[in-house]
Amino acid sequence: MIYITRMMGKPVVDAAGETIGTINDIAISPGEVFPRVTALAFVGPGKAPFMLSWRKYVAEVEEDRVTLQVPRAELRFSYLQPDEVLLAHDLLNKQIVDTQGMKVVRVNDLKLSESRGQLRLLGAEVGARGLLRGIAPGLETLVARVMKLFGRTLAENIIAWNYIDLLDRDLSHVKLSVSHKRLHELHPADVADILEQLTPAQRAKMFEHLDNDQAAEAISELEDELQADVLDDLTDERASDILEIMDPDDAADIIGDLPYDKAEILLRLMGVREARQVRKLLGYRENSAGGIMTPETITVSPSLSVQEVIDRLRATVEEAENIYSIFVVGEGRVLQGVVPLRSLIVSGPETKVADIMSTEYFSAGPDDDQEAVAEMISKYDLLALPVIDEAGRILGMVTVDDALDVLEQESAEDLALAAGRPDSRFGEVGSWLGASTSWVISWIVAGLITGGVMAYFLGLSKEVFLVAALSLPLVMRASDQVAGHSLGQLIEPGEEDGARALARLGIDLAAGASLGAISGLVSLALLQILGRPMTSAIWIGVAITLTIVVLALVGAILPLGLQRKDGTWRASATLVSAIMSASGVALYMALAMAFIGAAGV
């Protein structure tokens, strides 16, 4: 097989055996499933760039060279055509969308193959092997041999060309064989997963190749915090068109997260009917049934026949979000009953709706808590729950998919609270200082008592230990946070893979170093005011840093020690938190004593 990284820099030799340059790139015409190489780019004497037709001039591709069919004097140079793509320039080390694996990856190498005298691109290497080969071919060989000694293989990770979409190139003039047609074939949830991995600029570029219907479905599947950002990056006209297509409840959620001025502009650009529905939903209290319901319901009169209802469903099926439940209303849209779709199917065409409707049904008020509504839908296995006002008039319905979103959101919040960790996936160093502030006063008091007792019994400087004790709340806060990370793994086993666990550990270690530096600076200032030697401030900072680093390492391996043989977990949240806090305090005070005592303060 041939790889682009191995071809780069190889000599280009003409038919007379004269070296006329070195390979700089090769071009393909991407209009085929496995596109053929169409041009050879090389650098000649004086670093002058040249390009040749591959089919016309290239005779053979060898491991150490490319040989041409004619002598140098007979060469006629060409230019890159509008429909051609340079492999090294346009693909190598660029991000692409793997539409089969539905993820964003980086191209580490490109694999080619000779077939019937033509060189064709097979796909992109996105694994470690291609990365090592790009650094040095010898490094790839060395690592492969070392792994072989341990019974492992350094496998290739090739994505076939027909499963690739480019991200970092203007595709308006380049038509890939399956390119964005492939994206259109993906489920909106899969497109959303890909979009969430991209930068804002890359998301905007991908949206250029999605029509409004596909864009609306993809945005609906995005995480809540990204929906408003994505829509805010689009032009006002396109954003309003997409909002019109979306379900009113989804559109209202997004508009509610936009700045007021932007939201008003979009609402004015939307159709009158759609804007009125969204404004009505925005008027309901957040986290209420009215806030998550959709006003689009199918309502019928009890005097209609089954056949008349079915005819109406056929006419409105594209506009209705849920047709599994038909709501029967009387004068003034007062809800009288519910007819399941199954009852319509099994009933005779002349049967009246009044004869098959159920007058015993569950309902919610617009101000009911969304979690209670979601739990009701889950408890009674409902597909849709009508929302009615005080007079019994139907306002809309909460569907099962909205209920699942609410339950998932509430579960995540409860889990974050139980584990004592921030809402963000990996947290931030700043959250170590800002969270749980209600405990700070208690920790300061505990630190002063502990420091005072130690200063009294050990006969050391009260001023120095006063400063050391004031730093104790930071250690206790860090201990609590690390315990929260461990509890998160005990509550959600397997949630984090190795990379995310390392990222979490890295943040813990970074926080430890940051808190140590902050404590050292604060201690320097306090000791300066108290007139004590400032060298002890350095040792206080070092003690805090080492303490939190040790705690972070312990927190990373703690879940492994609390795992049973059958894979289940055995832990008490209170016990884990207490052990981590006590260990942190003891370790910090021991280190502070040792360092400050050794300094002779």
Q: Is the pLDDT of residue 269 over 50?
A: yes
Q: Is 287 left (phi over 0), alpha (psi -120 to 50) or beta?
A: left
Compute the distance between CA of residue 585 and CA of residue 226 in angstroms, rounded to an integer: 40
Contacts of 19 (CB under 8 A, 6+ apart): 11, 12, 13
* Secondary-structure breakdown of the chain: helix, strand, coil percentages, each rounded to the nearest 5: 55, 15, 30
Residue 506: both structure tokens together: 């890295």
What separation in angstroms does the CA of 396 have from each of 339, 368, 505, 518, 579?
16, 13, 47, 54, 51
> Is it true that domain 186-283 has CATH number 1.25.60.10?
yes
Residue 531: both structure tokens together: 């007139």
CATH of 431-598, one of 1.10.357, 3.30.70, 3.30.360, 1.10.1060: 1.10.357
Compute the distance between CA of residue 533 and CA of residue 456 in angstroms, rounded to an integer: 19
> What is the chain's mean pLDDT, rounded?
75
- Its pTM stands at 0.48
Q: Note the pLDDT of residue 433.
A: 43
Q: Is 184 left (phi over 0), alpha (psi -120 to 50) or beta?
A: alpha
In tens, the pLDDT along 169-196 reads 443 333 333 344 455 666 777 777 777 7
Q: Phi and psi dihedrals of 118, rounded to 5? A: -120, 145
The one-character DSSP state at 285 is P
Q: Note the pLDDT of residue 493.
A: 45
Q: Is the pLDDT of residue 387 over 90?
A: yes
Q: Note the pLDDT of residue 351.
A: 93
Q: Is the pLDDT of residue 498 over 50?
A: no
Mean pLDDT of 291-303: 88
Assign 391 to helix, strand or coil.
coil
In tens, the pLDDT along 219-237 reads 888 887 788 888 888 888 9
Confidence grade of residue 413 (pLDDT, cut at 50, 70, 90): low
Assign 201 to helix, strand or coil.
helix
HSE of 35, CA atoms in CB hemisphere, 13 A: 26
Compute the distance between CA of residue 60 and CA of residue 491 in angstroms, rounded to an integer: 61
Listed residue (72, 75, 76, 96) closest to 85, CA to CA: 96
Listed residue (280, 228, 284) closest to 255, CA to CA: 228
Lowest mean pLDDT among 42-56, 204-218, 540-554: 540-554
Confidence grade of residue 217 (pLDDT, cut at 50, 70, 90): confident
Compute the distance between CA of residue 378 and CA of residue 399 in angstroms, rounded to an integer: 11
Strands 118-125 and 394-399: unpaired
Check: CB of residue 107 under 8 Å from CB of residue 126.
yes
Compute the distance between CA of residue 184 and CA of residue 108 in angstroms, rounded to an integer: 26
Q: Is the pLDDT of residue 19 over 80?
A: yes
Listed residue (457, 476, 454, 474) closest to 465, CA to CA: 454
Element spanning 469, H or E? helix 462-470
Residue 104: both structure tokens together: 């964003």
Mean pLDDT of 204-232: 82
Check: CB of residue 85 under 8 Å from CB of residue 143.
no
Compute the distance between CA of residue 530 and CA of residue 466 in angstroms, rounded to an integer: 10
Bridge partners for 22 per DSSP: 11, 43
Residue 558: both structure tokens together: 């703690």
Contacts of 227 (CB under 8 A, 6+ apart): 219, 220, 253, 254, 257
Check: CB of residue 429 under 8 Å from CB of residue 552.
no
Q: Is the pLDDT of residue 386 over 70?
A: yes
Q: Which of 103-112, 446-455, 519-528, 571-580 has the highest mean pLDDT?
A: 103-112
Q: Is the pLDDT of residue 314 over 70?
A: yes
Residue type, 577: S
Lowest mean pLDDT among 25-39, 69-83, 328-342, 415-429: 415-429
Radius of gyration of the chain (CA): 33
The one-character DSSP state at 475 is H
The residue with tokens 């490109």 is: 110
Strands 66-68 and 85-86: unpaired
Strands 158-160 and 118-125: antiparallel
Mean pLDDT of 354-379: 91
Superfamily covering domain 2-161: PRC-barrel domain (2.30.30.240)
Q: Is the pLDDT of residue 496 over 50?
A: no
Strands 58-61 and 66-68: antiparallel
Check: CB of residue 176 under 8 Å from CB of residue 124.
no
Q: Which residue has the higher pLDDT, 7 or 511?
A: 7
Check: CB of residue 365 under 8 Å from CB of residue 351.
no
Confidence grade of residue 12 (pLDDT, cut at 50, 70, 90): very high
Span between the terminal Cα atoms of the chain, in Å: 70
Q: Note the pLDDT of residue 338.
A: 92
Contacts of 499 (CB under 8 A, 6+ apart): none
Q: Which residue has the higher pLDDT, 429 or 323?
A: 323
Q: Note the pLDDT of residue 305.
A: 93
Listed residue (205, 211, 130) closest to 174, CA to CA: 205
Q: Note the pLDDT of residue 230.
A: 85
Alpha carbon 180 to its chain centroid, in Å, reads 21
Assign 381 to helix, strand or coil.
coil
Q: Which residue has the higher pLDDT, 578 or 389?
A: 389
Compute the distance between CA of residue 44 and CA of residue 310 in angstroms, rounded to an integer: 75
Lowest mean pLDDT among 155-164, 169-178, 310-319: 169-178
The CATH code of the domain at 299-404 is: 3.10.580.10
Q: Phi and psi dihedrals of 525, rounded to 5? A: -65, -45
Check: CB of residue 3 under 8 Å from CB of residue 121.
no
Q: Phi and psi dihedrals of 292, rounded to 5? A: -110, 0
Q: ∠192-197-200 over CA atoms, to 5°? A: 90
Length of the chain measured in residues:
601
Q: Is the pLDDT of residue 13 over 80?
A: yes
In tens, the pLDDT along 517-547 reads 666 666 666 666 666 555 666 666 677 777 7
In tens, the pLDDT along 67-96 reads 998 998 888 888 888 778 888 888 888 777
Listed residue (200, 167, 180, 191) closest to 96, CA to CA: 167
Instruction: Enumerate the domain spans of the chain.
Output: 2-161, 186-283, 299-404, 431-598
Compute the distance between CA of residue 73 and CA of residue 540 in angstroms, rounded to an integer: 77
